[in-house]
Amino acid sequence: MRCILLLLDGLGDRSQPVLNGRTPLQAAYTPNLDRIAAMGMNGLFHAHLQGAALPSELAHFLMFGYRLEEFPGRGVVEALGEGLDILEDDVALLARIFSVAEEHGYLVLRHENPDLDQKSCEILHEAIRHYSSAGIEAQFLPTRGIGGILRLRGAVSKHVTDSNPIIENRPLMEVFPHRPMSSDPLAMDTARFLNKYLRWSYRILSGHPLNEKRCKNGLPPINAVGTQRAGKLSNLPTFPEKWGLRGLLIASGPVYHGLGHVIGMETLRVKDTDDPARDLRERLETAYQAKGHDFIHVHTKVTDDAGHTRDPSIKKRVIETLDTALDYALQVIIPDEDVLFIVTADHSTASSGTMIHTGESVPLTMVGKYTRNDDVRRFDEVICAAGGLSLVRGTELMHLVLNFLDRGKLWGLMDSSDDQPFTPGASTALRIR
């Protein structure tokens, strides 16, 4: 048997007054999702702790059965997904250029996501591309638009705080070591270096001719760099080593490709078009045809993007559009008894409020020849709670996958030197001569 897991990114939401107190998923017309739920075993899922708001890359990392403290950091995950040159001892941070105003000696964020043409981005990125001090080198590596990766090379640590406040009209933040690392020389030196770089880049960008021209034309200057979520490569067991499954991740975003690199899961890069239903159907078809893999993760980001619009009606419509693609799952995937089909999300992205992501659990359904059938007849954040899976958290998801693939090992048995949760393990046959 093999598993196909469909992940609708950011699917969960909050009750919305504009939808008569329902979530976008509750309000949406989803006959295919509802039929799948009616055929399967249902529950709620949270990748960590209920109420904890998780970014997608961390939620996926935990969903795939890794521990929170093993996560290498978003910066390095995204850098790998972008195909950038990252060495074992480098530190990578998410970085972007944006608009700030100087007030009482502080830099206040005015425009966190300014509209800037590609040529101007390239010019300003180049102006702050290289900086070095005290044996540490920084290089700003552009990725898309105003964004990029700030790569630090030298004796550096990932245990430093962010400088980007994200929310406009808040001041840029001074970088410090994480509290447990407050006396660590590497963390102290890295924080000190980053603060120097941030001040230097502000001076360089503020005096740049392009910004002088923008100011004369009444446009805000793009005059500062913000950093967040430092990361560093680490040695982890691969997904096949950990779960005994050959994995394939089908996704469009570079952060997911980077995550596949980190955990040793093969990735298939796909593109998003203006037809998300067709995109999803094609990904499901590809997943079903990938019979050389035991675990295929199918990802779509459009539900998360819809939540970020802060318009619940848009998210409702997107969910309804995606549901039309799931007739393929009902007609082809689910009838195949050799497939365990799962639908869930990584986190909630509320289409109201100020939080980037929110901490509510998300619906989960599993359909396969070994799953129980419960009384749930609708796929949403409330009704699925009455299903036979109850609340599933973190690593429990992968243990359930092994269980419903009929590949879980009886605890206590040791068929290999590693106490892996799957069977058969990498055992060695006894020779009699």
Looking only at the bridges linking them, the beta strands covering 339-344 and 2-8 are parallel
- What are the pLDDT digits (tens) for 1-50? 999 999 999 999 999 999 999 999 999 999 999 999 999 999 999 999 99
Which residues lie closer than 8 Å to 53 by C-beta, 6 or more apart? 347, 355, 356, 357, 358, 359
Is 286 within 8 Å of 268 (Cβ atoms)?
Answer: yes
Average pLDDT, rounded, for the chain:
97
Nearest-angstrom CA–CA distance, 416 and 425: 6
Question: What digits encode the pLDDT tens for the residues 37-67?
Answer: 999 999 999 999 999 999 999 999 999 999 9
Tokens of 251: 């996704």
What confidence tens digit (pLDDT) does each residue in 311-340 have?
999 999 999 999 999 999 999 999 999 999
Tokens of residue 104, six digits: 């009482």
Q: What is the pLDDT of residues 78-124, one digit of tens each?
A: 999 999 999 999 999 999 999 999 999 999 999 999 989 999 999 99
- What is the per-residue pLDDT across 137-182, written as a single tens digit (0 to 9) for each? 999 999 999 999 999 999 999 999 999 999 999 999 999 999 999 9
Residue 429 has φ and ψ, to the nearest 5°, of -65, 140
Closest CA to 238 of 257, 260, 258: 260
Residue 208 has pLDDT above 90, yes or no: yes
Q: Do strands 136-142 and 147-153 pair parallel, antiparallel, or not at all (unpaired)?
A: antiparallel
- On whether the CB atoms of residues 166 and 175 are closer than 8 A, the answer is no
Residue 78 neighbours by CB under 8 Å, 6+ apart: 57, 92, 94, 143, 149, 254, 255, 258
Percent of the chain, pLDDT > 90? 98
Output the pTM of the full model: 0.94
Question: From the centroid of its chain, how far is CA 235?
Answer: 20
What's the average model confidence in pLDDT over 230-239?
96
All CATH 3.40.720.10 domain ranges of the chain, comma separated, are: 2-72+237-404
pLDDT single digits (tens) 273-319: 999 999 999 999 999 999 999 999 999 999 999 999 999 999 999 99
The CATH number assigned to the domain with range 2-72+237-404 reads 3.40.720.10
Q: What is the mean pLDDT of residues 396-406?
A: 98
User: What 3-state class would DSSP assign to 159?
Assistant: coil
Instruction: Give start and end residues of each alpha helix (H) in 251-357.
Output: 254-263, 276-289, 302-308, 312-323, 327-328
Mean pLDDT of 251-261: 96
Q: What single letter denotes the amino acid at residue 103?
A: E
Per-residue pLDDT band at 426 (split at 50, 70, 90): confident
